[in-house]
Amino acid sequence: DAMVIQNPRYQVTQFGKPVTLSCSQTLNHNVMYWYQQKSSQAPKLLFHYYDKDFNNEADTPDNFQSRRPNTSFCFLDIRSPGLGDAAMYLCATSIDRASSSYEQYFGPGTRLTVT
């Protein structure tokens, strides 16, 4: 089945130690998103890629960066995680072409713990 895959599902890192979360998709969607979600609050958009174009939300901390080496993969890098960065990180994809349905498809998420 076509899907959005996130690895790992659970990640533990130390305060200040860089960490990378990964997302892959088999949907061939051209838009990929990274969200941060805390305590069943609404997901907060960090950034998105429209094809290769990177779009950062204005309030996303500089500590968060992203890479999209190809259509299928997208990475979230947290350069120096703080305790406040502990959260669920959700990857999503959508397609932005004519005759498409546009909704976003979410992966299962990676729960990040910072010790």
Partner 1 sequence: GDSVTQMEGPVTLSEEAFLTINCTYTATGYPSLFWYVQYPGEGLQLLLKATKADDKGSNKGFEATYRKETTSFHLEKGSVQVSDSAVYFCALLRYNAGNMLTFGGGTRLMVKP
Instruction: Give the C-alpha separation, 55 to 7, whole Å.
Output: 23
For residue 108, state whether it binds partner 1 (rule: CB under 8 A): yes
For residue 55, state whether it binds partner 1 (rule: CB under 8 A): yes
* Dihedral angle over CA of 64, 67, 73, 76, nearest 10: -10
Neighbour count for residue 22 (Cβ, 10 Å):
16
Instruction: Give the C-alpha separation, 47 to 49, whole Å.
Output: 7
Taking the complex as a whole, how short is the minimal distance between the CB of residue 94 and partner 1, in angstroms?
5
Scan residues 24-43 and list those touching partner 1 (CB under 8 A): 31, 40-43
Scan residues 88-107 and list those touching partner 1 (CB under 8 A): 90, 92, 94, 96, 101-107
Contact positions toward partner 1, by CB under 8 A? 4, 6, 31, 40-43, 45, 48, 50, 55, 90, 92, 94, 96, 101-109, 111
